[in-house]
Amino acid sequence: MTLIKDRWFTVQEIGNSTFAISEYGHWEKVHSFLLLGDREAALIDTGLGIDNIKRITDQLTSLPIKVLTTHVHTDHIGSHGEYNEIYVHEGDKDWLVNGIRGLSIEQIREHISRDITIPTPETFNPNTYQPFQGEPTGLLKDGDVIDLGNRQLEIYHTPGHSPGHISIFDRLEKYLFTGDLLYDQTPIYAYYPSTSPVDLVDSLQRISNIEDVMMIYGSHNSLGLEKNILKEVKKGIIYLKENKLVKFGTGLHKFNGFSVQF
């Protein structure tokens, strides 16, 4: 079900009081997610920052919103500055405050502005685009539970793609939000110096063992993956480990439904 006609964002209800806010006009096909409780709401990431995602969340809820950052890369923190409560894992705090390590502003601006297929808002200028930097409201750690009232979100520290990457399990809907740890169509990557192939594979193994997952929602490409993909993840992990491929430079590894690149 599609909600809200908007020039940049596509809004879909993916479950009870659960919304995907997608940016299909950009080559990365980024998804952010708004989860409503009876007392508070959680916004998982804030998108690219090409347009202001708060325009959408204001239409969907009047509840106070906590921003839960899966990780500090440009395409996940774009509208962080629009919200009062921002949370991040300690492993990515330095990037949020001082800038993303290993990427120049020139690289970021080139990355954000290429292969856009729909008109961007007049407020977007790739030549002056500046990623959010600022102090978080608080830090997340493994095992934390965010209580929205009638809805609890469990935090899993799943490093590899970034040091402080997290995944979030919604105990109510049984949805697992995996950020850039697991999605389809394009490779999950851990080939930058700031990434860790070993941590990424360990994190994939960990989420593959979470019980009662009904759907997986990554931050890119297809909106929603069936739970059976976790069985394919387990098979892929065995293959990578047995063949000693979990290290920088081994390249692209394709499996049934997903791929990784080291």
Residue 231 pLDDT: 97
Give yes or no for residue 25 having a pLDDT over 70: yes
In a domain, 190, yes or no: no
- Mean pLDDT calculated for residue range 109-138: 95
pLDDT grade for 93, boundaries at 50, 70 and 90: very high
Please give the tally of structural domains in the chain: 1
Residue 239 pLDDT: 97
Phi-psi region of 227 (alpha: psi -120 to 50; beta: other; left: phi over 0): alpha
Q: What is the pLDDT of residues 131-169, one digit of tens each?
A: 999 999 999 999 999 999 999 999 999 999 999 999 999
In a domain, 64, yes or no: yes
CATH number assigned to the domain comprising residue 120: 3.60.15.10
- Mean pLDDT calculated for residue range 31-60: 97
What string of H, E and C letters represents the secondary structure of 108-154? HHHHHHCCCCCCCCCCCCCCCCCCCCCCCCEEECCCCEEECCCCEEE
In a domain, 20, yes or no: yes
DSSP summary character for residue 81: G
In a domain, 50, yes or no: yes
In a domain, 98, yes or no: yes
Can you state the percent helix, strand and coil of the chain, rounding each to 5? 20, 25, 50
Domain with 52 in it: 2-184+211-226
Give yes or no for residue 1 having a pLDDT over 80: no
Token code pair at residue 200 = 């990424």
Cβ burial 89-103 (10 Å sphere, 16+ → b, else e): bebbbebbeebbeeb
Give, in order, the Cα–Cα distances in Å from 235 to each of 30, 213, 225, 238. 27, 18, 17, 5
Q: What is the pLDDT of residues 208-234, one digit of tens each?
A: 999 999 999 999 999 999 999 999 999
Q: What is the pLDDT of residues 2-17, one digit of tens each?
A: 578 899 999 999 999 9
pLDDT grade for 58, boundaries at 50, 70 and 90: very high
Residue 22 pLDDT: 98
Q: What is the DSSP string of 22-41?
A: EETTSTT-EEEEEEE-SS-E
Q: What is the pLDDT of residues 175-216, one digit of tens each?
A: 999 999 999 999 999 998 899 999 999 999 999 999 999 999
Residue 2 pLDDT: 52
In a domain, 198, yes or no: no
pTM of the model: 0.96
In a domain, 65, yes or no: yes
In a domain, 75, yes or no: yes
Coil, strand or helix at 233: helix
pLDDT grade for 75, boundaries at 50, 70 and 90: very high
Residue 193 pLDDT: 87
> In whole numbers, what is the pLDDT of the chain averaged over residues?
96
